[in-house]
Chain A
Amino acid sequence: MSRREPLLPNAARVAAREYRERVRSRLFVVSTVILALIAGTIALGPLVIRLAERTTVQTITVVADEPAVKSLALGSLDSILNLSPSGTEPPGRVRPYEIQAGSTADEEVAAVEAGTIAGTLLVERTESGGLSFVFHTAGQRGSTTSQLVGFAALGTAILDWQSSGELDPGAGAFRVPGFDIVARSGATEGGRPVDPTVAASRSFLAIAFVVLIFITLVIYGMWVAAGVATEKSSRVMELLVSAASPEQLLVGKVVGLGAAGLTQYAAILAPAGVILVIQELLAVVIMGPAAGETVSLAGLTPGLLLAFLGYFVLGFAFYAVIYAAAGSLVSRQEDLQVVALPLSLLSMAGYLIAIVSISGGFDILARIASFVPFWSPFVMLARVMVSRVEPWELAISFGLLAASVVVAAVVAVRVYRAGILLYGQRPGLRLFIAAARRGD
């Protein structure tokens, strides 16, 4: 039997102390500034990529059953997409698009999806004798490229109508061709495909969010483990356990350091967010009015932010209580890495799965990993942002993670209760299990 003590107000007092001491520390301030600079630089990434892409040649292929139509389309695309802004071809000018004849529709679409070509224009003859165009693009639906391809398609149809009139005077009036754009990206919103601009933004944000969640769990988790280990090695723990219960100490530490982590988030993300918001303006300033649309915060919805916040809070709570338990088994700061390494490796595995899944890899593994509590904060978050996720999948993932937080907290308190008064024993899994079984 032990004392039945409410978490409050002592957990709040411990949390307040942890928060105050953490955000006042020089290490916190320095790391925040450095990370804010890194985040700001990453936020400038899309702009830099677009600057670089200005000098990159993009390949667009044409697939058409009729050789004459194919030839017309190739010519139209080349003349419109590679039209010099000045109207004349200056010497040494790099033509921004390479227009090629494609093989089959399936192969070309696959090439677009793989990112080896920028787009493919599929041309078909309709029953009414007109033409129908479908442009599969790796870019965005409303991009400059898509619009120019639309003009080229219209030009091709006019030329085709003209040539058919010459061959068959009874061919009839010009029919406006069908033109559709298919963005080959997989992001969905409630099961429906999302706008390519949003999809591109989401891919960018997914990487940013997964990196942030990873930082949260590893770095902030280590704060918790190191904090417990310091209290133990400095022996202040002896005084603490006489004044507060292990539950109050553990929860207070996790909440206080979690709040300090959120503060650091805010300090890091605020400048990066401002850069992303003003990126359109920067693009116009740097590249002129024809800069077009950019990868921005277009994909960020309140729902996604909520998912991020949910996975941050639950993921941090889950990892932090385990880190606290691990820290309680350490008598010396030097041993901290020994107990922290397995957790770091576990979270690293989830991080890698998430990063690969953002670009479409590890499909089955990512699906499974998005339900595993150790990995779901990374993997499900990535899936939600860039691919199709059913609401029930999200609910199960959150439910499992929340239940795991409760189980982990109960086990962690038992380990912590026993561990904080253990000195001189070799930390490891065996000691962890022994402490969890004893809980005293």
Chain B
Amino acid sequence: MSLVVDGVVKRFGAVTALDGLSFEAPTGQVFGFLGANGAGKTTTMRIALGVIQPDAGAITWDGRSTLDLPRAVFGYLPEERGLYPRMRVLDQLVFFAGLHGVPADQARRRAREWLERLRIPELADRPAEELSKGNQQKIQFLAAVLHDPEVLLMDEPFTGLDPVNASLLREAFLELRERGRTLVFSTHQMETVEAMCESVAIIDRGRLVVAGELREVKRAARGRALRIGFETAGETAWLDGLDGVRIVRPGVDEVELALDPSLEPDDVLAAALARGLSVRRFEVLEPSLEQLFIERVGRPAGDEASLAPTRAEASADAERR
């Protein structure tokens, strides 16, 4: 039993948003769905929910097309946050749960429990327009989970949350996973994915780049990572000009580097010593997800991507393969 995306194609006019996308999110796991802006994550989620139709391919849950399943199987936290501005929080939660078939009294009880758990019980009777953005986001999360869906699809759930609220949301994720729910979320925060996800899929311009268990995906990274620190501050900029080296995490006296497969960590150390620098720290790291993402996609996750490759790019891609 798993959420299977199978050869999904979606075009919007001349733009191909999804180009034969396939991957699998196993049941009962927290699944990271990664891609630059415009890569096709939201479109994939909307197709899974049945909000839009694919031109080809299908998304199935437990072997059945998601279109054959009741909507209540899924919970959805959209990227664009929105609630009825003048409606009371509790009324909104009861309304949305009601659309998924939860009786009003049960929905009211669950809503109060969740509000307690997220430490905002006092917001129950307030209109949404009076809430801070972070709190509105938490209410939207509740609207997505109150009917206890089997699969929770969340588009950038941590965006805009302060560290305390992000931590509360992470706790809620883990609790839902403990209860056997499947959580799929997209984010640009690679540390969060590394900390929470068992499996990931990285997509770029509507196509799958890599998917699988996080451990396996990272193991498949070709390049290596390195952390190097110097005695004197401000001595790191030269590393950026070194062939096969890219600064992943800049710093004043210590940086994290991604190395091309052709380059050995010792080569960097040798270059530093040759410049007469005093090396204080030198550590070979397991490649981070962010590093892997940049290696495979060619740019950080927060960057914009065009929806589809041009014809020239597509043929170049094909040749590379």
Residue of A nearest to B143 (CB): A239
Interface residues of B (CB under 8 A from A): 46, 49-53, 67-68, 71, 74-76, 78-87, 95-96, 98-100, 140, 143-144
Binds B, one of A178-186, A229-237, A260-268, A315-323: A229-237
Complex contact A3–B50 (CB within 8 A): yes
Query: Which 7 interchain pairs have the tightest Cβ spacing?
Result: A235-B82, A238-B78, A242-B76, A243-B99, A236-B82, A235-B80, A234-B82
A327 CB to nearest chain B CB (Å)? 15
Q: Is A241 located at the chain interface by the 8 A CB criterion? A: yes
Known: A17-B95, A421-B51. 6 other contacts (CB 8 A): A2-B67, A234-B83, A239-B76, A239-B78, A241-B49, A242-B75
State the CA gap A243–B52 with chains docked (Å).
Answer: 13
Q: Is the interface of A mostly helix, strand, loop or mixed?
A: helix
State the CA gap A21–B88 with chains docked (Å).
Answer: 10
Instruction: Using C-beta atoms within 8 Å of the partner chain, give the interface range for chain A.
Output: 20 to 34
State the CA gap A259–B263 with chains docked (Å).
Answer: 73
Complex contact B87–A10 (CB within 8 A): no
Q: Is A440 located at the chain interface by the 8 A CB criterion? A: yes
Complex contact B50–A244 (CB within 8 A): no
Complex contact A234–B143 (CB within 8 A): no
Residue of B nearest to A243 (CB): B99
Q: Is A1 located at the chain interface by the 8 A CB criterion? A: yes
State the CA gap A240–B51 with chains docked (Å).
Answer: 10
Complex contact A234–B85 (CB within 8 A): yes
Q: Is A388 located at the chain interface by the 8 A CB criterion? A: no
Complex contact A242–B83 (CB within 8 A): no
B141 CB to nearest chain A CB (Å)? 11
B12 CB to nearest chain A CB (Å)? 9
Q: Is A13 located at the chain interface by the 8 A CB criterion? A: yes
Complex contact A239–B85 (CB within 8 A): no
State the CA gap A231–B86 with chains docked (Å).
Answer: 12
Given A238-B82, A239-B78, A244-B99, the answer on whether A21 and B87 have CB atoms closer than 8 Å is: yes
Interface residues of A (CB under 8 A from B): 1-3, 5, 10, 13-14, 17, 21, 25, 231, 234-244, 421, 440
Complex contact A13–B80 (CB within 8 A): no
State the CA gap A298–B122 with chains docked (Å).
Answer: 58
State the CA gap A17–B80 with chains docked (Å).
Answer: 22
Q: Can you list 13 pairs linking A and B with CB atoms under 8 Å apart?
A: A3-B50, A5-B71, A21-B87, A234-B84, A235-B78, A235-B82, A236-B83, A236-B84, A237-B82, A241-B51, A242-B49, A242-B75, A243-B99
State the CA gap A235–B80 with chains docked (Å).
Answer: 6
Q: Which residues on A sit within 8 Å (CB–CB) of B49?
A: 241-242
State the CA gap A234–B87 with chains docked (Å).
Answer: 12
B16 CB to nearest chain A CB (Å)? 15
State the CA gap A14–B87 with chains docked (Å).
Answer: 14
A70 CB to nearest chain B CB (Å)? 74
Q: Which residues on B sit within 8 Å (CB–CB) of A241?
A: 49, 51
Complex contact A2–B46 (CB within 8 A): no
A244 CB to nearest chain B CB (Å)? 5
Complex contact A421–B84 (CB within 8 A): no
Complex contact B78–A13 (CB within 8 A): no
Give which listed residue, B83, B84, B85, B100, contacts A243 with CB less than 8 A.
B100
Complex contact A242–B78 (CB within 8 A): yes
Q: Which among A237, A238, A421, A440 has the greatest number of chain B C-beta atoms within 10 A?
A: A238
Complex contact A242–B86 (CB within 8 A): no
A242 CB to nearest chain B CB (Å)? 4
Q: Which residues on B sit within 8 Å (CB–CB) of A17?
A: 95
Complex contact B53–A239 (CB within 8 A): no
Given A235-B82, A237-B82, the answer on whether A13 and B76 have CB atoms closer than 8 Å is: no
Give which listed residue, B50, B52, B83, B95, contacts A421 with CB less than 8 A.
B52
State the CA gap A244–B52 with chains docked (Å).
Answer: 13
A422 CB to nearest chain B CB (Å)? 10
State the CA gap A237–B81 with chains docked (Å).
Answer: 10
B120 CB to nearest chain A CB (Å)? 18
Complex contact A10–B99 (CB within 8 A): yes
Complex contact B82–A242 (CB within 8 A): no
Given A2-B50, A3-B50, the answer on whether A244 and B87 have CB atoms closer than 8 Å is: no
Q: Which residues on A sit within 8 Å (CB–CB) of B99?
A: 10, 13-14, 240, 243-244
A14 CB to nearest chain B CB (Å)? 8
Residue of A nearest to B75 (CB): A242
B184 CB to nearest chain A CB (Å)? 13
